[in-house]
Amino acid sequence: MNFKLAIFDLDGTLMNTSPGIFATANATVQQLGLEPVHDPKQLSKFIGPPITQCFVKVYDMDPSLIDQAVVLYRKEYNERGMFNASVYDHMVKTLQALKKQGYLLAVGTLKYELLAAQMLEHFGLASFFDSIRGADASSSLSKADIVQNVLDDLGVAKEDAVLIGDTTHDQKGAAESGVAFIAVDWGFGFPKGMQKEPSMYAMARQVEDLLTFL
């Protein structure tokens, strides 16, 4: 299949953002009088879903506190957490190669769109992408909504696009939006060595594999 557009998830796909996310999440709940979580497996559930779901999944937070938690989280993440991250090895060279081959590239993330754009700029990745789309202030957009925003931005048909991501939330978003899906196993969702599923176009084991599948 020849794709015109590759849409990348951010957390766990382009970058290892876990140190900043986990520290920010714990700082947020402590401000609300709740106990922090230190188990890495439990904290990993904070990456992937919409942020409103994350606080319930990881901290069993009362729904009445969610809106306040989101505001506190974004403030804390903007001030201290967002740059506590790193770009995965070989990602820059892979993006350079894809651009040289003529692909349109985009980011489709459930991270707040403004924060995502600031992070990508800070880490020198923003210039690779023709569209950067993320969650709105209400965190009401689904992954499929965000993928559709990218398609609309660039005027690309769903049949010509592929989403690349590390979680079942990415997989579901690709299915709901009608784009192909390449899973990666270096992030926070799919375990290392996981077998490719029928709904996946491919399973990438290392960043350079993307050059083979695209």
112 with 202, same domain?
A: yes
- Which of 85, 83, 22, 82 has the alpha carbon at shortest distance from 58? 22
91 with 171, same domain?
A: yes
Over residues 53-80, the pLDDT tens digits come to 999 999 999 999 999 999 999 999 999 8
pLDDT value, residue 48 = 79
Given a cut of 70, the residues of the chain with pLDDT beneath it are 1
Contact 47, 88 (CB under 8 A): no
Phi then psi for residue 84, to 5 deg, are -85, 70
Torsion of CA 18, 165, 187, 101, to 10 degrees: -100
127 with 194, same domain?
A: yes
- The CATH number assigned to the domain holding 75 equals 1.10.150
Range of the domain at 173: 5-16+86-213
72 with 110, same domain?
A: no
The predicted model scores a pTM of 0.91
pLDDT value, residue 2 = 86
113 with 158, same domain?
A: yes
47 with 22, same domain?
A: yes
